[in-house]
Structure 1
Amino acid sequence: MSLHLLIKSLLRRKVVTVLLLVQLAMTLALLVNSLLLAMQTRDKLNEPTGLNLPQTLQVQLKPTTPDLRAYPLLGDLLERQMAAVRALPGVQAVAYANQGPVRQGGNNGNLYDADDEERTNIPTIPQYMVSPDFFAALGVSVVDGQLPVTPIAVDIDTPSPLVLTRSLAEKLFPGRSAIGLKTNRAPVAAVVEDFFGQSSATNPVYNSIQVSPLLGVDWGYALLINTSEGSTEQIRQQLPEVLRQVDANIEVFYVRTLEEQHQQLYRNEFGLATLLGILSGLMLLVAMVSSYSNAHFHALKQQQEIGIKRALGASKQLILLELLSENWLTTAVGASLGVLCALALNKVLASVISLEALNWWLPLLCSAVLLVCVTVATWYPARIATKVSPATATKTL
């Protein structure tokens, strides 16, 4: 059957054809973007973080009295809390930090080589103020230099030297060692392995750390605890009570493993991917039902014409191919419109969440899936139509 005749056949039922095309286009748009979001979320959850996620606990807490939220009482509170946590069986290291890793947003600022600001200025670099055991608590190893140890006294005029992650050091000081070189904040004392900081940062593994006392924690602070294998859950259950025994004037917001924090970070993307996936599955099912109904109704109306063709010598295979070809053409046109809808939906979603642009192969894959589903849905009514008897059809003339 020629393309001209196929188009002519479809135009005889314009309203049904247009509605089916719209349905196929919307189905493809949802299917493409839900699959893209699911793949992106999976990749983010599986990307290396440089951290021992299951065995590292993060406690987010805040003193409830103003005096405890500022130095020097804050420093005394932190030391007592860390000593109490350190005494728990299974705790390998504990440290405080103004903010934890694996999060969306936080305390950050720009950083650049003091001798080359114009070329090296990098915005949105997470800034951590931590205790010396911060690196042991996260299990981050030293690449170059020596980790600084901060004295008890606080000297505002002499800031603590910086510790940079490897990727950040290479970006600021390409081709040379960063140790001893000056930045706009402080000289570099050490370089450590990359670890995941903030998803909203310029680069998630760009992190700058200063081993320094916390001067104030109006927004709270974090305790990071490295636990031995098998003891994480037991320690998690004990932590709130242990911390309240040290000082009751604190509010414990949550106690999570960094693995849970990592999953929490992408909960919106995961939830939206699940929702779009369910909608895509339902739309695909509805498209199959619509294709089946359309093919079945069309085959019933075409019985006389099919009978005449059979009487003139047309084989069952040819009749079957003609009926399937109409549905294939409809699916091809609907899929083409669906690609445009998918691009538009992708832009809308990208304005709300972090979503990559569509690549060329994903619409092709989803179009192939749509074509297979429509073929399966229309196979049975097309097969029934081939069983029309030439003699029976001729009697209706």
Structure 2
Amino acid sequence: MAFGPIFRSTLRNPTGALLIAIQIALTLAIASNMFYMVNERVEKMSRDTGVVNEEVIAARVFYFGKAVDKAAQADIDRKTLLEIPGVKSVSYSNSMPLGGNNNTSSLCFEQEGDEDSCPHSPSYYRSDVNFHETLGLDLVEGRWLNDSDNVTTDAISIAETRTMMLSEVLAKLYFPEESALGKQLYLGGRELTIVGVYRQLLRPGARATEADHTILTAERRTSGYLAIRVDQDRIEQVKEKLEATMVGLNDQRVITEIETMDEMAADAYRRDKAMVVLLLSVVALLLLVTALGVAGLVSFTVANRKKQIGTRRALGASKRDILAYFISENFAITALALIVGSGMAYALNQYLLQTYELARLELVYVFVAAASLLFISQFATLLPALKASKVSPAIATRTV
């Protein structure tokens, strides 16, 4: 079917098509990078903590007032809490996954290590020996920490040989070709012997990078984070009575931030969720504006070409031919814009990479954004194109 007259008319007045092509290209550049950013946030919020989230309650414990025998009080706390129906295990730790108080230090092959011998700075959990049981961690190899590994809080800074456990990711980074068991590494200048490797434990803080780079050390903790593992069907009852129970045992302290792990995750990722909603809203708005722009351009073109369309109908073009032409014309404009927009997407990503240290854009997100734009553009063309196909051949005889 010959559409030469209509096509030449487009070339004589290319402004509208050019503006729409620019709009589509810009939308692709922005949308593909936003899709990538959204996916990064979603993956971040979906990270496995390594903990049985649905069974764990965490709280902060702070002492005040007169001196208290905290070690004795911690033993009383554990004994009392374990008597509550549904409570399986109780532990004190310096921090919790996704919680605050993120203690980090360089982990080195040598005591006086330089940058090359200290490749990573993991977070370290200083917790009692029941911590793994309370959180429900999985042992990969070796053993869990026990009472023989315990040190007191006062001894934490003394350069003495101690033991530790590594996350599986960290163990493989330091000893990729052999088992990490029995090896020595230096944490903050202190020599520690690796006695076990656990599958996973997320670092404290939602913004922490290298999320699986964690260490466990044994310490007789008496305050900080209190972690309690509870039967899932009793978790709300224990949570409700926890503060009253703890203060009843000792009123020289406060119990704050009583949350389940799921609630802690929701708090930690609140900004990420808000960012996802914002980014998706912006993308939706961009796509809507692009769709309206395409529909407006095609409607304007149809209005200006009615006599040409009528002429083509009078010469034998069917409604299907007219419809196919406008769909094809829009496809050609959109395809050209998407090619240009793909280059713009990577240029924008390069800027974001250098300015905000974002990851390099993957090709799949450009494809997703391009496919979305192509579908929306073709859909937006459909209604005006249908109107064009209904133009009567008789209009060619009118002097307008």
Distance 1:60 1:384, change over 3 A: same
2:93 is the alignment partner of 1:97: yes
Q: How many residues align?
A: 388
The question of whether the paired residues in 1 share the 8 Å contact of 2:161 and 2:192 is answered with no
Q: Which residue of 2 aligns with 1:260?
A: 263
The TM-score, its normalising length taken from structure 1, stands at: 0.84
SS at match of 1:107: coil
Letter in 1 for 2:382: W
Encode CA deviations 1:242-275: one digit per residue, 9 max, x unaligned: 2222333434331222233334333323221221
Q: SS of 2:120's equivalent?
A: strand
**Structure 2 equivalent of residue 180 of structure 1:** 182
Q: What are the superposed Cα offsets for residues 6-36 of structure 1, whole Å, 9 maximum, x if unpaired?
A: 486156151x334433432343344323432
Percent identity over the alignment is 24
The structure-2 alpha-carbon separation of the partners of 1:301 and 1:154, relative to structure 1 and needing over 3 Å to count, comes to closer
Residue 384 of structure 1 is matched in structure 2 by 387
Note closer, same or farther for the CA distance 1:377–1:175 as it changes in structure 2 (3 Å cut): closer
Distance in 2 (alpha carbons) for counterparts of 1:252 and 1:210: 24
Aligned to 1:195: 200
> Residue 137 of structure 1 contacts residue 225 of structure 1 at CA under 8 Å; is this kept in 2?
yes
Structure 1, unpaired ranges of 5+: none
* Structure 2 partner of 1:292: 295
**1:314 aligns to what SS in structure 2?**
coil
CA distance in 2: counterparts of 1:151 and 1:387, whole angstroms: 86
Name the stretch that deviates more: 33-42 or 116-125: 116-125
Structure 1 residues 166 and 366: alpha-carbon distance in aligned structure 2, compared to 1, 3 A threshold: closer
Contact 1:25 1:335 (C-alpha < 8 Å) held by counterparts: yes
Whether the 8 Å CA contact 1:169–1:191 is kept in 2: the answer is no
Distance 1:329 1:239, change over 3 A: same
Query: 2:123 aligned with 1:126, yes or no?
Result: yes
TM-score when normalising by structure 2: 0.83
Query: Retained in 1: the 8 A contact 2:95–2:101?
Result: no
In the alignment, which residue of structure 2 is the partner of 1:313? 316
Distance in 2, matches of 1:352 and 1:232, equals 45
Does structure 2 conserve the Cα–Cα contact (< 8 Å) formed by 1:105 and 1:201? no
Unmatched 5+ stretches in structure 2? none
- Please say if 1:54 is aligned against 2:50: no
Contact 1:63 1:249 in 2 (8 A): yes
Q: Is the 8 A contact 1:126 1:201 kept in 2?
A: no
Structure 1 103/323 Cα, relative in aligned 2: closer, same or farther at 3 Å?
same
Partner of 2:31: 31
Structure 1, residues 73-119: CA drift from partner, whole Å, max 9, x if none?
44344334333333322111111111112357711111123489566
2:78 is matched with: 82
RMSD: 3.3
Alpha-carbon distance in structure 1 between the residues aligned to 2:53 and 2:171: 24
Retained in 1: the 8 A contact 2:6–2:308? Answer: no
Distance in 2 of aligned mates of 1:230 and 1:345:
49
Q: Secondary structure at the match of 1:187?
A: strand
Amino acid paired to 2:36: L
CA contact 2:138–2:199 (8 Å) conserved in 1: no
Counterpart amino acid of residue 250 in structure 1: R
Tell me the distance in 1 between the aligned counterparts of 2:352 and 2:243: 39
Q: Does structure 2 conserve the Cα–Cα contact (< 8 Å) formed by 1:21 and 1:330? A: yes
CA distance in 2, matches of 1:223, 1:129: 12
- Greater shift, 351-360 or 245-254, is seen at 351-360
Distance 1:349 1:78, change over 3 A: farther
Name the CA distance, whole Å, in 2 between partners of 1:140 and 1:320.
62
Query: Does 2:219 match 1:212?
Result: yes
Q: Partner of 2:336 in structure 1?
A: 333
Structure 2 residue identity aligned to 1:62: F
Structure 1 residues 124 and 361, CA, compared in 2 at 3 Å: closer, same or farther?
Answer: same
Query: Contact conserved, 2:137 with 2:201, CA < 8 A, in 1?
Result: no
Q: CA separation in 1, counterparts of 2:138 and 2:334?
A: 56
2 CA distance for matches of 1:384 and 1:175? 69
